[in-house]
Structure 1
Amino acid sequence: MAQEPVHDAAGTEPASGIVPALLQELSVELGRFSSIFAQRHGLHSTDVEALGHLHLASLRGEPMTPSSLAASIDLSPPATTALLRRLEGNGHIERTPDPADGRRQLLGLHDSAREIASDFFGPLAFAIEGSLEGFTDTEVAVIVRWLRSAIDTTRSVAEDAATRSAGA
């Protein structure tokens, strides 16, 4: 016997169909939260995006150069230079010579930027972690596996879209 599809709480739409809408809603709320951070600290949305990429690179132990940052947020070289000057001037980032190649600069978050971000985003991270209460470790593992898959899928589709638009 075929199993009935799982529906949303209202019983109107298969649960798998509601996932993209819920992700969009989460994305909007996270964007709103980041906008509040940007406004509070006099930052542009691109500044916050760049700082986020630097933070993620740091968590992964990956080096970030001006060119790799530009590629990750799709900025031209002049726009990247202006961005880095602004972030460095505000004390949010630091540039250091690459020990393996002194001609190359590595970008990193300044400790004060980490502290400011932690003070603001920490409560959100804590609340999101708390939202997992009531889920078993097995269920959390499934959520983590799915999130990683969704991130990889989104990255792939975004790269395809960028390639198509560059060729247009």
Structure 2
Amino acid sequence: MTAEAPGRPRAAGPPPLVHLLQEFSLESNRYVDAAGGSNDMHRTDLNALAVIMQYTAKNRVVTPGVLRKELHLSSPATTALIDRLNKSGHVVRERQGTDRRQVQLRMTPKAYRDGGAMFRPLARHIGAAMQDFSPEELAVATRFMSAMIEATVRAGEEAARDGSRTPSP
């Protein structure tokens, strides 16, 4: 016999794979919290570095405005975040353009070293787990995870639009 929450309708629930994705997401978040916490970095700090790294890999400029939008932060929160990352030696501000008004954010070699050290255990364990799968299985898993990321992005965009239309109480 299973215990059900009172007043909650009985439902088949999501497929087991969806539960695994939720669990993976939760465990990933726990890892980021543990790795960041032991290095005196907030989750937002690590997310900011991930955004800067992704943009840099695509040869795209990262400005404070880009970071604010990507992380859904207010302007003051973005400034505080950049100040923290600058003070810790992980990010530098560089003036760009002919009028030198645009500020571009760049990760420092220290950020890459610290990030590598923080995420090396995760990479090692994931790499070891991946060795149990054939290249064909990994190709299917890669295609699947790419589709799940795209679906999550679309759902987030939809939630943001719907949230802006929701009347306040």
Whether TM-score is above 0.5 comes out as: yes
Tell me the TM-score normalised to structure 2 length. Answer: 0.83
For 1:100 and 1:22, the matched residues in 2 are separated by 50
Structure of greater relative contact order (alpha carbons < 8 Å, 6+ residues apart): 2
Give the alignment partner of residue 90 of structure 1, picking from 88, 93, 97: 88
List runs of 5+ in structure 1 lacking aligned partners. 1-12
* % identity of equivalent residues: 31
Q: Deviations over 1:17-54 (max 9, x none)?
A: 11111111111111111111221122222212212222
Matches within 5 A, 1:67-86: 67-86=65-84
Where does residue 132 of structure 2 map in the other structure?
134
2:144 to 142, 146, 163: 146
CA distance in 2, matches of 1:21, 1:100: 51
What is the CA–CA distance in structure 1 between the aligned matches of 2:36 and 2:69, rounded to whole Å?
Answer: 22
Q: Which amino acid aligns with 1:36?
A: A
Q: Is the 8 A contact 2:91 2:106 kept in 1?
A: yes
Aligned residues: 155
Query: Under a length normalisation based on structure 1, what TM-score does the superposition of the two structures give?
Result: 0.83
Write the distance in 2 (CA, Å) between the matches of 1:36 and 1:82: 22
1:61-95 CA deviation, whole Å, 9 max, x = no partner? 32211111111110011111111111111111112
Q: Residues 139 and 111 of structure 1: is their aligned pair in 2 closer, same or farther, counting only changes over 3 Å?
A: same
Q: Which residue in the other structure is 1:114 paired with?
A: 112
Mean CA deviation greater in 19-28 or 92-101: 92-101
Cα deviation, residue 150, structure 1: 0.8
Q: What residue identity is the alignment partner of 2:56? A: S
**CA drift at 1:160:** 1.2
Residue 33 of structure 2 corresponds to 35
**Is this contact kept in 1: 2:36–2:118, CA < 8 A?**
no
1:21: which partner in 2? 19
Q: What secondary structure, in the 3-state scheme, does the structure 1 residue paired with 2:118 have?
A: helix
Question: For the structure 1 residues 136 and 165, does the alpha-carbon distance in structure 2 shift closer, same or farther, using more than 3 Å as the test?
Answer: same
Q: Distance in 2 between matches of 1:137 and 1:115?
A: 30
1:62 aligned partner:
60
RMSD: 2.1
Worse overlay, 66-75 or 132-141: 132-141
Once residues 104 and 165 of structure 2 are traced to their aligned partners in structure 1, the CA distance between those partners, rounded to angstroms, is 31
Describe the SS at the equivalent of 1:131: helix
1:160 equivalenced with 2:144 (yes/no)? no
Paired with 1:107 and 1:149, the residues of 2 have a C-alpha distance of: 30
